[in-house]
Each structure stands twice: as C-alpha cells, then as structure tokens.
Structure 1
Amino acid sequence: MPEPVVHIEGVQELARDVVVIPNRQVQLVPNIGIIGGGHSVLVVETGMGPRNAEKVLEFAADFAKGRKLYLTTTHFHPEHAFGAQVFAGGATFLVNREQAEDLKVKGPGYLEMFKGLGEPVARQLEGVELAEPDVVFDQEYDLDLGGRMVQLRATGRAHSKGDQVVKVPDADVLFTGDLAEAGQFAIFPWFPPYDTDVSGTRWLAVMQRLAAEGARVVVPGHGEVGGPQLLADVRDYLELLRDETWVRRDSAVSEQTIVEEISALMIQRHPEWAGQEWIEKGVGCLCSEHPA
C-alpha cells in the first residue's frame, strides 16, 4: 500500500474559479475540489487524516484570498472526510443528515478498520478526531458562494448510506465521490455482517439518473477527470453486474461460481480497470438483493 498522501501538484482548472487537486492514481487519495464564488469558497473532500487536510486547507486558504471557506464531503469514508477536524474554526462544515449519522455511528469503526490496512495508512490516521458538521441538511442544500450557486444533493443509499453529489450548474461540473470512479471497478464496501449499507440496485438507479442528466465535466472519487461518458460507463457496468448476477442466481448457481464467472467476464470486458477485487463484493451485494 503506497502512502495515501495528497500532493498539491498538477492542479487542474475545470472552469473559472473551479479546480481539482488530482489523486494521481494513488490508492486512498481522493480527487479534491475547490469551488470559488464572489465571497466564499467551497472545499470538496479533506484527504485522509489531519496532515493531508492541513495541506488542503493551506491551498484552499491561498486560493480563497480572504473569501469565507466552506467544507463538504461526498461521504464519510476516511480518505474523504477524516481530516475535517483541521477545518474547525476556519471553515463551515456541512453535509447531509444521513452522512452526518454515518460519520457519528460508523466513523469510529472505520477508523480502526483502516488503521489495520497497514502502516502507511495508520500513519495518516494518527491524531484523527471525528468532526461534527456545523450545518446538517436533509436532502438538498443550495450554497451561495457569491454569484455562483453550488448544489449539494443527497442521493440516498448507494455506495454508502449518506452519499451526496456536488453540482456547479453555471460551469456544468459534477463531483460524484465514490459513486463513480474512472478506470476502476465500482467499490462495493460489502462487509457482512459489519457493514451492508451499500446497495447495488439503488446505486444503479442513482447512476441512471445522473447519466441521464449528464455533465460537461465529471470529477470521480478516484481517477481521471472525465465527461458524461464516465457516468454512462459506471451505469452500464452496474447494470451488467446486476443482470449477470441475477440470471445466474435464478439458475441456482452457487455464489462462488457466480463470482468466478462474472469476474472473468468483467475482466475480459475491462482488462485495463483497477480494483478487480471489488467485483466479488459487488456480486455478494447483488446476490443479497436478488428478488427471490
């Protein structure tokens, strides 16, 4: 496992006053967004742990040049939200209600689980204190940055219980978090009996809607920034994963056989995609959702 460290380099300008700090294809480093308006700036994601978040905050403060700072996260997972404590007092932290509940209830368990992934990850998680959001909303929040409105939209249960997307309508930019990854199989955090909040069927429904709406620029949770095809690729993968899993489930094939057959099929279709281990998790999740 490489060091999950955010490097403030290769920053991409997506539109006027909208940039992304790319994850550079490093595992457990998210794409981090900075969105500016006339009087305020919104940061999307913190990076994993306080040292990463300190670098993000320093960059954001310099970018803001005195403008008010806000912070939001697309979901509660450690590389996306476990640096929020650094922003306390310097930025207003706002998330949807389901995500706030995830952070409070499941955050401590995820902190310990991720520390067990190896010394590089554990180092970045040293000193983490799970932050409480300043503003919690139900489904929708329109944030006025001054001449630019940013839409925070809870999607409902999908990759996690509290997923949300961040839309910049005037620039037609969409931040998806881990609802969409580029060049990688969809990450299914399916860990029964400990965590079964991920839902393949609900995730597919969310992606069908997002793909229909489209966006000029799509910033995935991890991987290269893309366009509307990225949303369509994730939708099509989830749809095929569901259909191929369920047709085998209908035939009373064992789950292990389903995993082997579908893994071979998906790797053949997408040999260049990373994260092949997530195919098995996706099959397990969708087997549990099979309409028996």
Structure 2
Amino acid sequence: MATKFASQGDMTEKKITFDEIGDGLYAFTAEGDPNSGVIIGDESVMIVEAQATPRLANKVIDCVRSVTDKPISHVVLTHYHAVRVLGASAFGAEQVIMSDIARSMVVERGQEDWDSEFQRFPRLFEGHESIPGLTWPTTTFSDSMSVYLGNRRVDIKQIGRAHTAGDTVIHVPDQNVMFTGDIVEDHSACYCGDGHFNDWGQTLDNILAYDVDAIAPGRGGALVGKDAVNRAIESTRDFVDSTYQPVAKVAARGGSLKEAWHAVRESCDPKFADYAIYEHCLPFNVARAYDEARGIDTPRIWTAQRDLDMWAALQG
C-alpha cells in the first residue's frame, strides 16, 4: 500500500472543457477535478462553485468572458468544502450564497477542512497564497430561495443530505437544467468522507423527480440528455451503495476499520477502480461509512492529523 495519499502524487494538469448545456448555461469541467457552473441571465451572471483558489477561479472567469461580458453578480456554493469555496473572492460578486447549514459547517469545521484538503490534494490549491481566508456567504437560506437574473429565475434548494448535510442544488426551470454539486458525479468517485450514506439514495430520487434535461455534476463531464442524466445518477447510487453495504456488514459483526477497508475494495475495485480520484476518496469513504454504520450520524471533523492517523491505521 502506498505510504502517502494517492492525491498527493497526482500532479497531472487536467484538460478544461466548457460545454453549453442549455441556453446560456455552461459546465466548466476538468477531467475529474472540481467543476463549476455558469448561468447567464439578462443582466448578469451567476457562478456555481468557486474553485479552491482565486487563481483557479480565474480560469472559470476566462471561460465566462469567452461567451459574455455581463458582470458576475452571484456566486452559489453548494456546500462548504475548501476545494469548492476558497476561490470565491476572485469573482467580485455582490452576493455569495450558501445554505444556512453549509454556513454553520464553515463555522464548525471550515479551517480544519481547509488544512486537511490542502494536505491531501496540493495540486487543487494552485495559487493558494492568493486565498484571503475562509469564504463567508453574504446571503443564506433555509430550504429554498429564488434569484432573478433579469427575467431568468434560478431556484436554489436543499433537497436532502448526501455529500454533506448542507448540500444545495441549483435548478434553472426555463431550460430544466440542474447543477447538483457533488450529489451526482460522472465517472468520478464520490467523496463520502462527510457524507450521509443512508440519505443519499433518497436525495438522488429527489433529483430524478425533476426529470431534468441536463446536469452539471460535481465532477466528471457535462450530462446532456435524459439518458446521460439517468446513467450518472444510477452510477452514483451504485457507488454509494457498493461502499456502504459491505462496511455495514463488517460493523454489524464488530469488525475493524481495516476489515471494512478490505470489504470495500472487494466490492468497489472491480467496478470503480478507473474512476477519477478513486484511490484518494477510498480511505475517507470507508472511515465515514464505518462511523455511520456504528450510529454516528454527524460526520466527525477531518483534520490534517486525523487524516494521517486514519491512513496509518489502514496501513498497519
């Protein structure tokens, strides 16, 4: 087994794509790195997900400027993770929007998450010296809110726990397109280290109920057409279930974290070993699944030291 996290050795530059997934709607994707979304209204632009640093956010801005010169007025953050939020200052938006729960998670664990993620995956923090500090929303909501970019309505909603307790989806009804954050991935491993396995499937069902025509997922390519949308939702469901179910069996008989690790490898390696960030996510996914199976509903806070302790336990 490797002596360091797989992500620490991942230094390969990823190819950026910028795909139109609806009229005035774009998915910024990068071969399994964190995605961003762009929603162009009559008067201004909304960004979904801010990237990990202002320098990386500027790559999104360059793509935006290739299609519009309208000002960026809003940034919506689907959850609190550092790789999604710390680049927000680059956009100069009037409003930065998070759910109430996501903001509370910044308060509770934002700095710890930043320290942890920076240690785990240094390539995703290109230009980290430009980060001014934790990202705080200017606007929060409970359950749902709507923003009007001129005549274009954007619905921002919480429809269930999955990747985190504070997950948000963004739906643009005039095109029936959704930006899901990390609730849905495409050919990329789900990071479940702060997740809620037993809720995730219902949250995916709630997305299915929208019967959307396109999705910009959290990682992986843009999903255009109902066949692509449904395929990615079901592969995400399979990934989550294939991780949790073997761990639950180990936990039920009082087995160890190391036994859970081997059980998940047996279940998931044949199906998902070629997925982006699979090896990076695996130890954190097993640890969280093991906790949840033993009745720990609120994910424990990951710190840089806890990461190392967990990794040492799995190698021991």
Alignment of 1:137-148 (within 5 A): 137-148=141-152
Residue 14 (structure 1) aligns with: 21
Q: Deviations over 1:245-275 (max 9, x none)?
A: 3234334444422321231121123343231
SS in structure 2 opposite 1:116? helix
* 8 Å contact kept, 2:161–2:203: no
State how far apart, in whole Å, the 2-side matches of 1:31 and 1:122 are.
14
Structure 1 window deviating more from structure 2 (38-47 vs 207-216): it is 207-216
Q: Does structure 1 residue 171 correspond to structure 2 residue 168? A: no
Residue 6 (structure 2) aligns with: none
Alignment of 1:42-121 (within 5 A): 42-60=46-64, 63-67=67-71, 69-88=73-92, 90-117=93-120, 120-121=123-124
* 8 Å contact kept, 2:184–2:217: yes
Consecutive aligned runs of 4 or more in structure 1 exceeding 6 Å deviation? 4-7
Q: Deviations over 1:45-78 (max 9, x none)?
A: 1222111223433543564433562111111212
Cα distance change, pair 117–211 in 1 and its aligned pair in 2 (3 A): same
Q: Does structure 1 residue 215 correspond to structure 2 residue 212? A: yes
Q: Compare the two structures and name the one with the higher helix fraction.
A: 2
SS in structure 2 opposite 1:69? strand
Q: Cα offset for 1:282?
A: 2.8
Q: Cα offset for 1:104?
A: 3.5
Q: Cα offset for 1:228?
A: 2.0
Q: Cα offset for 1:38?
A: 1.8
Structure 2: unaligned runs, 5 residues or longer: 1-8, 224-228, 296-316
Q: Cα offset for 1:284?
A: 3.0
TM-score (norm 2): 0.77
Residue 194 (structure 1) aligns with: none
Cα distance change, pair 291–77 in 1 and its aligned pair in 2 (3 A): closer
Q: Cα offset for 1:40?
A: 2.6
Q: Cα offset for 1:164?
A: 0.8
% same residue:
21
Cα distance change, pair 97–246 in 1 and its aligned pair in 2 (3 A): same
Letter in 2 for 1:40: S
Residue 262 (structure 2) aligns with: 260
Residue 250 (structure 1) aligns with: 252
The structure 1 residue matched to 2:238, chosen from 236, 239, 243, is 236
State how far apart, in whole Å, the 1-side matches of 2:242 and 2:91 are.
41
Aligned pair count reads 280
Residue 303 (structure 2) aligns with: none
Letter in 1 for 2:168: Q
Letter in 2 for 1:133: P
Residue 308 (structure 2) aligns with: none
Q: Deviations over 1:115-139 (max 9, x none)?
A: 3346645542113122322211112
* 8 Å contact kept, 1:47–1:80: yes
Structure 1: unaligned runs, 5 residues or longer: 190-196
Cα distance change, pair 139–265 in 1 and its aligned pair in 2 (3 A): same
* 8 Å contact kept, 2:38–2:64: yes
Residue 192 (structure 1) aligns with: none
TM-score (norm 1): 0.83
* 8 Å contact kept, 1:218–1:228: no
SS in structure 1 opposite 2:129? coil
State how far apart, in whole Å, the 2-side matches of 1:236 and 1:175 are.
20
Structure 1 window deviating more from structure 2 (147-156 vs 268-277): it is 268-277
Cα distance change, pair 116–255 in 1 and its aligned pair in 2 (3 A): closer
* 8 Å contact kept, 2:19–2:222: no
SS in structure 2 opposite 1:56? helix
**Larger relative contact order (CA 8 Å, sep ≥ 6):** 2
State how far apart, in whole Å, the 1-side matches of 2:139 and 2:161 are.
20
Letter in 1 for 2:114: L
Residue 154 (structure 2) aligns with: 150
State how far apart, in whole Å, the 2-side matches of 1:277 and 1:87 are.
29
State how far apart, in whole Å, the 2-side matches of 1:165 and 1:78 are.
18
SS in structure 1 opposite 2:248? helix
